[in-house]
Structure 1
């Protein structure tokens, strides 16, 4: 029994590393499809709302990484992991998962419902990576454009159709759960995730909040003060200033657009590019909408 568990964990790591090589951020899952690592803040009172900024593992989807060494370290800390999650909404793919559930008890046909939406809104469901779930459902993998954040939702599009977007995750193919194995649908293993059709993307994203005119319309101009704030940082405050500025940029919706300028400013202030990118990525995770997959 122990040998089987070790083999399952080894296969899960192998599948996770393969996904990470393709630019998909991954982290270990238990057989219940929940994060395999317990929160380092579980015994703290009052509860701590941390999304990985403490630097310790155990923050669920916020642990997700494409770094092979970091992936191995996460799985080493979770020896009972039997699968892996793939973080959605993260560059470079900005994955969007369309989860088509099976609900024969209530007569819901999620595949037919998606096809009906395609007819009504004049889009074609593209050929893309498709993962078959143990329950008979399927996950369609799509990619989103930069600057668009797709929220998670359950049944909002139609009964039986759930959406995994920013802050959510998909169970990766090859994962083993208490209900069975997730596997790639025949004929889709060679495909790359297809771009989300524009009409479908409009259905997945909430209407933009009205903005009051300020005279500064471009992200570069809106974030100029933040860039200057980082550039003026002295030793001992560079990382703190960069993290604060990146959080404000993401909260106002132009974090991705300002990331390069903030990185350049931080490098001029004395950080390495790797340190700057890591701080900005932490800010992006911290300010992402909290969603329960």
Structure 2
């Protein structure tokens, strides 16, 4: 008789959400999100206004969590960016070659820089690696890195997630091995992973001959460029949808609109890939749902 893992995984999801860390279901026994993609989006529930990516659908709502985990023994993912976390992933080599693991290379990095190995919440991964949890500083949007600190040392922040303790894969179980308080990210590590200052981006919008369309495009691009942390992606989605009807009517070329919003989103501090995904989703929704010009 197979042991039912659902209650334990539901408890793990609720416990992490209670810490203020949005969670998402991962495939049973796996590490990939168990959520529909844009092409399969039903446009209902959280996606009623347009497709939302897994990071936007991660939640701390107990009712939504219970409903999701009632459907299957899903592993638990923590959306690190919305959780305000940066997690350092100390990986194991993929082969049995005599290659130093991430724990070894990270320890060597600390020694070279004269810093102690941080004592913070630590999770042993299924493969035997380590996840070191830190709170990310306010006002700086940190993304993911791969090998930027040292070989086999990655980081997960905005745009990333980690498999939470209690989850199980064929390689083993994720377990908390040091239940220490989550430390703020040390300044020396922040300096090493902080993004380079953004280059100035031109926010000029071309005029396409339709005065109303040109005015709305310029207004919405400015709104995105000046959006503040925590509301930038939502503003990009809203503004691109507001302009999408003019694309549907043929007043504005789609490429022109995409380029204008891409520049504005990057100027506001959003990652380029996130901008592209949001703009594409918003324009697709607007074009699909736009009423005829005469009825607008």
Please tell me the TM-score bracket, short chain as reference: 0.5 to 0.7
Instruction: Pick the aligned partner of 1:36 from 34, 37, 52.
Output: 34
Partners of 1:38 and 1:58 within 8 A in 2: no
Distance 1:63 1:43 in 2: 12
Instruction: Pick the aligned partner of 2:24 from 20, 27, 31.
Output: 27
Structure 1 position 255 matched with structure 2 position 229: yes
Instruction: Pick the aligned partner of 1:199 from 188, 191, 198.
Output: 188
Per the TM alignment, residue 79 of structure 1 is displaced from its structure 2 partner at its CA by 1.6
Give CA-to-partner distance per residue, 1:166-186, whole Å, 9 cap, x none. Answer: 01001000011232211111x
Per the TM alignment, residue 9 of structure 1 is displaced from its structure 2 partner at its CA by 1.9
Partners of 1:249 and 1:255 within 8 A in 2: no
Q: How many residues align?
A: 218
Distance 1:56 1:79 in 2: 25
Q: 1:61 to 1:8 in 2, by over 3 A?
A: farther
Q: Structure 2: which 5+ runs fail to align?
A: 202-219, 236-264, 275-296
Instruction: Pick the aligned partner of 1:95 from 63, 72, 85.
Output: 85
Distance 2:129 2:112 in 1: 23
Per the TM alignment, residue 258 of structure 1 is displaced from its structure 2 partner at its CA by 9.2
Q: What residue is the counterpart of 1:161 in the other structure?
A: 153
Q: 1:55 to 1:193 in 2, by over 3 A?
A: farther
Counterparts of residues 141-156 of structure 1 (less than 5 Å): 141-156=133-148
Q: What residue is the counterpart of 2:204 in the other structure?
A: none
Pairwise CA RMSD: 3.4
Per the TM alignment, residue 124 of structure 1 is displaced from its structure 2 partner at its CA by 3.0
Partners of 1:57 and 1:74 within 8 A in 2: no
Q: What residue is the counterpart of 2:165 in the other structure?
A: 173
Structure 1 position 84 matched with structure 2 position 82: no
Distance 2:148 2:224 in 1: 29
Structure 1 position 72 matched with structure 2 position 72: no
Q: What residue is the counterpart of 1:268 in the other structure?
A: none
Q: 1:149 to 1:127 in 2, by over 3 A?
A: same
Partners of 2:86 and 2:156 within 8 A in 1: yes
Partners of 1:40 and 1:57 within 8 A in 2: yes
Q: 1:256 to 1:63 in 2, by over 3 A?
A: closer
Q: What residue is the counterpart of 2:198 in the other structure?
A: 209
Q: What residue is the counterpart of 1:10 in the other structure?
A: 7
Distance 1:54 1:43 in 2: 9
Partners of 2:9 and 2:73 within 8 A in 1: no
Give CA-to-partner distance per residue, 1:48-78, whole Å, 9 cap, x none. Answer: 9xxx6546898433321111112122223x4
Which structure has the larger Rg?
A: 2
Distance 1:178 1:115 in 2: 28
Q: 1:43 to 1:195 in 2, by over 3 A?
A: closer
Where relative contact order (Cα < 8 A, 6+ residues apart) is larger, the structure is 1
Q: 1:201 to 1:72 in 2, by over 3 A?
A: same
